[in-house]
Structure 1
Amino acid sequence: MPRPPEEFTVPDTLSEVTRRLVQDHLSGGPAVPRARPAELLGALIRTILGQQNTRAAADRQYRALQDAYPRWEAAVLDGPDGIEATLRAAGGGLHRSKAISLHGLLSALEAHPPDHLLSLAFLTGLGDDPARRALEALPGVGRHTASLLLLFDLHRPAMPVEGNLDRLARRLGWVPDSWTAARVERWYDAVVPRTVPERLALHVAGVRHGREVCLSRHPRCPACVLADLCPSAALLGPG
């Protein structure tokens, strides 16, 4: 049986928190992305490389793949071992698992009809839910990876939620600590206005705030623009 929809409450401080985060971390606001059909596959591969990896390492690995395989068809022919060797030479981690995921992804796309061959351009003609289902059916693509591609590259109102946004919601008292990460993600998707600019702004500003101020350890509460709205500030800040 499908899960019945949950009733989630929009916090009174959501719009003010978003406004302050955008003002503090995004001068002029984030640029609204534009769909780039010819580049979608590359964007997805780069996103997969970024999973549990530093940005610098993922960038090196992606450049190495582009140098080794001017066309992604060559990566399919080279197989997981060849892809793994390319990733390993570039540094970073999880070479084997990422090589298997990437080869599975490219092989799955190669099995599509000719007009979809090693391309994700067909996603631009799908609605939001069908596009998500198509992405999540691909090897190595979970909900978070799909949400990132949908928001940043397909210009759809997805709401990617990673550790920084999860921590923000808990510390602000928006969600109980007992909730799972998956439930927090469903909560964000339900309460944040379903527009690309608003979701993009909260995602980008919230991630930057978590990396720079609302750290998992030793948060910089005295420097936080949300301190007067955050019930955790008195507990986590210096005594």
Structure 2
Amino acid sequence: MPAPAPSHPAPPRPTKPCPTLAEQAPPPDSLPEIARRLAERYLPTPPVPRRAAEPTDGLIGTILSQQNTAAITRRQFDALKAAYPIWEAALADGPDGIEAVLKAAGGGLSRVKSHYIFQVLERLENTRGTLSLKDTREMDDAQVRALLESLPGVGMKTASCVLLFDLARPAMPVDTHIWRISRRLELTPGTWNAVKVEKWFDEVLPRTWQARYTFHVAAIRHGRETCKAQRPRCEACVLSGLCPSAGIFLNEAVNKAASGRRSRKQKAE
């Protein structure tokens, strides 16, 4: 009787690679024109890359900027530098001392931010033996990001800000203005959060510092001045004709104005 043929396990089925975000939401052909118009309106002079003398300063400044105005951020940072000429002094003073300095300078969330700053300094001291981040200039982008995001309270956006503004690397931080603009322009799905939108921009924008710095700064200015959360100024928008949401807001403005006129007329009668 012949021996049974040896059985072989079926080969594993090939798995399809997960589609990239750019494949899930392909960038429109108008994206380069959107970038060009924003740059022409808000940042017409090409920026020059500059690297911070000490990236740790930039990291702490970025932590302070969270939910703060630029004026308060600068005031708090200047107060910290006056109180602690070197960050080792802040580490030695502890979170309560840092909090007292921030409170005296004004601004909210002093307790939360003082603890984040202290924990960042403590982690740098314990893991690297130094509070300086100057050596990140010699690291590649992925290494710098991994280092920064390993620190307490430092997420993707904070790391991207340090990369873009302090190390002149082609990162693309997404704040609430850029997130809102990307939704109104229908560049990205409305269900995506800011982290996912940042990853999408990282895939579709030119991987140069100048292109990303210009788009980031110009888009934020556009969000503050024109594409506001409430009552966007679509009639003055440089992206007129490229924005699918413009008609909705303009119609709302027309209807509101007409309603106001009717109300005033009825009161007059």
Counterpart amino acid of 1:99? S
- Counterpart of 2:187? 174
Q: Give 1:217's match in structure 2, choosing from 221, 230, 234.
A: 230
**2:112 corresponding residue in structure 1:** 97
Indicate yes or no: 2:59 matched with 1:44.
yes
Task: Give me the whole-angstrom Cα distance separating, in 2, the residues matched to 1:119 and 1:40.
Answer: 7
What's the RMSD between the two structures over aligned residues? Answer: 1.4
TM-score between the two structures when normalised by the length of structure 2: 0.83
User: 1:26 deviation in Å?
Assistant: 1.1
Residue 195 of structure 2 aligns with an amino acid whose one-letter code is A
Any idea what SS the aligned residue of 2:167 has? coil
Which letter maps to 1:16?
E
Per the alignment, residue 177 of structure 2 pairs with: 164
Alignment-mate amino acid for residue 50 of structure 2: R
1:91-129 CA-partner distances (Å, limit 9, x unpaired): 001001100000011111222445xx1100121111111
Q: Deviations over 1:61-111 (max 9, x none)?
A: 111101111111111111000000110010001001100000011111222
Counterpart AA for 1:34 = R
Paired residues for 1:53-132 under 5 Å? 53-114=68-129, 117-132=130-145
- Is contact 1:69-1:75 (8 Å) kept? yes
Larger Rg, first or second structure (1 or 2): 2
Return the letter of the residue paired with 2:79: A
Q: Which residue of 2 aligns with 1:190?
A: 203
Matched residues, percent identical? Answer: 51
> What are structure 2's unaligned runs of at least 5 residues?
1-16, 255-269
Q: Which residue of 2 aligns with 1:32?
A: 48
SS of the aligned residue for 1:229 comes to coil
Residue pair 1:65, 1:86 contacting (<8 A) in 2 also: yes
2:217 maps to which of 204, 217, 232:
204
CA contact (8 A) 1:33 1:153 kept: no
Runs of 4+ in 1 over 3 A off after TM superposition: none
Q: Is it true that 1:12 corresponds to 2:29 in the alignment? A: yes
Give secondary structure in 1 for the equivalent of 2:177: helix
For the 8 Å contact 1:22–1:202, the answer to whether it is kept is: yes
Shift of 1:216: 0.5
Normalising by structure 1, we get a TM-score of: 0.93
Give, as a single letter, the amino acid of the residue that structure 2 aligns with 1:122.
Answer: D
- Partner amino acid for 2:178? L
